[in-house]
Amino acid sequence: MSVFEVGPGGPLRGRLSVPGDKSISHRVLLLAALADGTCTIRGLSDGLDVRCTLSIIRQVGADVDEGSDGTLRIRGGRLHGPDDVLDVGNSGTGIRLLAGMLAGLPFRSVLDGDASIRRRPMDRVLAPLAQMGARVSGSDGSTLAPLAIDGGGLTGIEYESPVASAQVKGCVLFAGLSADGPTTVVEALRTRAHTEELFAATGIDVVEEPGRITVSPGRPVPFDHEVEGDPSQAAFWAVAASIVPGSEVVVQDVYRGPARGGFVDVLRRMGADLDHDPDGGDLTVRAAALHGTVVGADEVPGLVDEIPVLAVAAACAEGETRFEGVAELRVKESDRIATVEGLLEAMGGSVRTEGDVLVVEGGRLRGASVRSHHDHRIAMAGAVAALVADGPTTVDGWDAVATSYPGFADDLAALRGGGD
């Protein structure tokens, strides 16, 4: 397990590009596998999570040609049962979306992953899939991975998800592509809209109404897609540039679709000096004095992955910040309520929980030895906090960042060098 040492100091200056959006990358790979023809994808995330999904679509019959510039040409539509277990690595998005897609295909498959995946709740997708007639079973009769799937024979349903989760919505809608009639997902709180956006863009019949998304059975037409930069990764630089004095950072071509700009709204309320170009997608952030705010439960589905680094911003702000309705954080790659608390407490921050509310008091941070808990977002949040701590910080388990942002340390070094 690797260790990354980060000392305080700055400023951070320059322009950079973050990896392609991870959530979109998973979905375009699945759609390309289903399409009858050749799809072209540029800008795919280079994280290990997405590489696992790419490997899986190859195992079930997609023909993948990867160019030297990272451009993928994928011929799908002729899928078949795999010869081996399908390994999603550390990807909760991957296993849940794939469970939906594979549940509708007429062959047997088994989805598995690392120790973290085997702890994460799969009942939230197994329940709606069972309502559709899917034959999916967890390990030893449980609802945990590995998941054995005997695909085919699905019935369209209307499903009201008890949790606000774009992964659950995506799972059900992908299964709906192979059902015998329309499938509807009802949402009390809006979640990220990547699945329905991409379905519509690739020729699938999607009807969107307030709180409802309906998909008809079918397959995508061959498509050409460029994946924009991941807002969840851009958020680390937005916070870093906000809290390190004298900084000015431009993150280029950041995805700006619906239900993904929540972290920008929160930082603006906290006093951040930032601008997200609605045309080119560039996110420009300059250092500013931050103050506390309240992040409501209705905002959380759109920024759930950014909460660890927003908590770092809160620890550097004046006053108190409350993150309400964050119970979903407990079932991520780590229990992110506990790991965010542990990170900030180790660095001298003031943080507490009140039920499903995370409360952070602003103040000064000190250098410390912190752990990633095998969670990429906790590792990178620790590195951002280290930039303004008194003394050096070591992040143990730094290799976790390869899940989503392998080049983070190199990008940090470049920004400290003025973007050279």
* pLDDT score, position 416: 96
User: What integer is the mean pLDDT of 102-127?
Assistant: 96
Which residues are known catalytic residues? 305
* 198 and 299 within one domain: no
CA distance 282 to 268: 16
* pLDDT score, position 256: 87
* pLDDT score, position 299: 95
- Contact assessment for residue 378 and residue 329, using Cβ atoms and an 8 Å cutoff: no
Q: What is the DSSP letter of 201?
A: H
Closest CA to 411 of 399, 402, 398, 420: 420
CATH number (domain holding residue 193): 3.65.10.10
* 57 and 15 within one domain: no
CA distance 49 to 332: 14
pLDDT digits (tens, 9 = 90+) for 154-201: 999 999 999 999 999 999 999 999 999 999 999 998 899 999 999 999
* pLDDT score, position 259: 73
Count of the separate structural domains present in the chain: 2
- Contact assessment for residue 52 and residue 72, using Cβ atoms and an 8 Å cutoff: no
| Final residue in a domain of this structure, among 217, 247, 282 | 217
* Domain that includes residue 213, residue range: 22-217
In a domain, 222, yes or no: no
CA distance 29 to 157: 25
* 351 and 202 within one domain: no
E strand intervals along 305-406: 320-323, 350-354, 357-361, 369-371, 393-396
